Amino acid sequence: MKHAIDIAAAVNAKESSASAELATSLAVIAEKNEAINAFLFVDTDGAKSFAATVDERIAKGEQLPLAGVPVAIKDNLCQTGVPTTCSSKILADWRPPYTATVVERLIAAGAIPVGKTNLDEFAMGSSTETSAFGPTKNPLDLSRVPGGSSGGSAAAVAAEMTPISLGSDTGGSIRQPAALCGLVGIKPTYGLVSRYGLIAFASSLDQVGPFAKTVTDAALVLEVIAGHDPMDSTSLPEPAPSLVAHVNDGVVGKRIALVKELYEGADEEVVASVKNAVAALEAAGATIIELSIPELRLGLSAYYLIAPAEASSNLARYDGVRFGLREEGDDVTEMYEATRTAGFGAEVKRRIMLGTYALSAGYFDAYYGQALKVRTQMIKAFAKAYEQADMLIGATTPTVAFEFGSKTSNPMAMYLSDVFTIPTNLAGDAAVSVPFGTGENNLPIGVQILGPGRSEATLLAAARVLEIADGRA
């Protein structure tokens, strides 16, 4: 499949049409989705209507940044009248009455939403194995996971069903599957992208971001979806940054820190890729330093108190009364219990229980309160690191894509898949995962570049240097 920027150029120049580009995308989905299970719902009629509208706009002389580009939408982002399930039985038949701001912005820019992609239930997982509708398979090796929780969105792009997709990142749920599927994935600065219409997991951590095969495509999508939204009280009060214009700025004169805590414990081949990436950045003109940020070792523990605590609050709304699944009971308490027992999967129940316990009267200060203090220390540690370096570099994941079932019986082993990505979410900063090198079975390795808030342009320029050095340009 062509890159998004090339599709848009061809459609804008009337060398192709949105309807033709959509037809190509739908044909690939029809051919591959049964084996991969990336899409839970393909909105064929809706997509054809969007494509026809784009062709009309182009015929009238409009130029659109994403003209005719098919896009896959993670199924925790609302779209009017389109099933939005969060891969949970509790929302299996729900169709929202409103559309997420990011989806509206894609449509306004000429993109064509083709359907909703699979995820770990309520975005709680690192492998897309907790979905109530079956796992998504990694298109690069069907015996392995695509990562999670945005595994469907990553697989859709990796399988060339669509050139771009949207995911959400609460503790690494864009960057980790991007690494395992050989894609570029961006976790934007908290507040840069609207969360309006994103079904909440952990509200202080969630961010929407893009998957793409190239840095330029990812930058283009982020430019379209970013910027202030009055519907989101946490939205930064500023316009979207200019990103595509800066992807080739390079790294000359930039200070990049290799952070020990962002690669120690990773597989040998992953560590080798990170060090090769550092060498490539140095060869491109960056100054490399080495840093230790010991506070990052506390990230996993803090995250698995803060995120479940917020989830236990956010998921209280699924009670069988207002919308979604409802199971009958003799009284309201029995109805609540029956609905939530039938509607939620094991991992969601585990995290609700963790969060409820951490917020309970006798344990609030010892657990949740302590985790918030750790989060503050981590924010300060990152800020101090960014006084010494413009950006940080490390591994995105400790391993390449792992086999189905290899970690499902051990939740802690699964949680450790996000050990390098979680700190950025706790700090609210920006990070990009870019493919660099391969490991076991020739599977891709992701290198992570981290920066302070609003540093996306700088990070994408560094990612572009690595993309060229890895021969992907």
Instruction: State the average pLDDT over residues 62-81.
Output: 98
- What is the distance between the alpha carbons of residues 400 and 394, in angstroms, rounded to a whole number? 14
**Domain parsing of the chain, residue ranges:** 1-296+373-473, 301-366
1-296+373-473 maps to CATH 3.40.640.10: no
What is the C-alpha to C-alpha distance for residues 152 and 249, in angstroms, rounded to an integer? 32
**What is the H or E stretch that residue 299 is in?**
helix 299-314
Total residues found in the chain within this entry = 473
* Catalytic residue flag (residue 74): yes
Question: Catalytic residue at 187?
Answer: no
The string of pLDDT tens digits covering residues 142-189 is 999 999 999 999 999 999 999 999 999 999 999 999 999 999 999 999
- Whether omega before 127 lies within 30 degrees of 0, making that bond cis, reads no
Which pLDDT value is given to residue 326?
95
CB 117 within 8 A of CB 152: yes
**Residues 302-314, mean pLDDT to the nearest whole number:** 97
Residue 195 pLDDT > 80: yes
Active-site choice (87, 127, 149, 433): 149
At residue 54, the pLDDT reads 98
Which pLDDT score, from 0 to 100, does residue 322 have? 87
Asked if 256 and 462 count as a contact pair (C-beta separation under 8 A), the reply is yes
- Report residue 463 as tokens: 């990612």
The whole-chain average pLDDT of the chain stands at 97
Of 17, 126, 165, 173, the active-site residue reads: 173
Judge whether 396 and 421 are in contact, CB under 8 Å: yes
Is-cis flag, bond preceding 149, omega within 30?
yes
Quote the pLDDT of residue 467.
98
> What strands lie across the sheet with 207-212, from one edge to the other?
39-42, 112-117, 70-74, 164-169, 207-212, 184-187, 430-438, 444-451, 391-395, 255-259, 287-291
Please say if the pLDDT value at position 317 is more than 90. yes
What SS3 class is residue 40?
strand
- DSSP 3-state of 288: strand
- 355 band by pLDDT with thresholds 50, 70 and 90: very high
CA pair distance 145, 128, nearest whole angstrom: 7
The answer, yes or no, to whether residue 1 has pLDDT greater than 90, is no
Over residues 446-452, mean pLDDT: 98
Q: Considering 74, 137, 187, 254, which one is annotated as catalytic? A: 74
Q: Per residue in 97-118, is it b (16+ CB within 10 Å) or e — as a string?
A: eebbbbbbbbbebbbbbbbbbb
Residue type, 192: L
pTM of the model: 0.98
Report, as an integer, the average pLDDT of 305-331. 95
Percent of the chain with pLDDT over 70: 100
Mean pLDDT of the 272-278 span: 98
pLDDT band at 412 (very low <50, low <70, confident <90, very high): confident
The model's confidence at residue 473, banded by pLDDT at 50, 70 and 90, is confident
Question: Rounded to the nearest 5 degrees, what angle is found at the Cα of 77, between the Cα atoms of 453 and 405?
Answer: 90
The answer to whether residue 260 is catalytic is: no
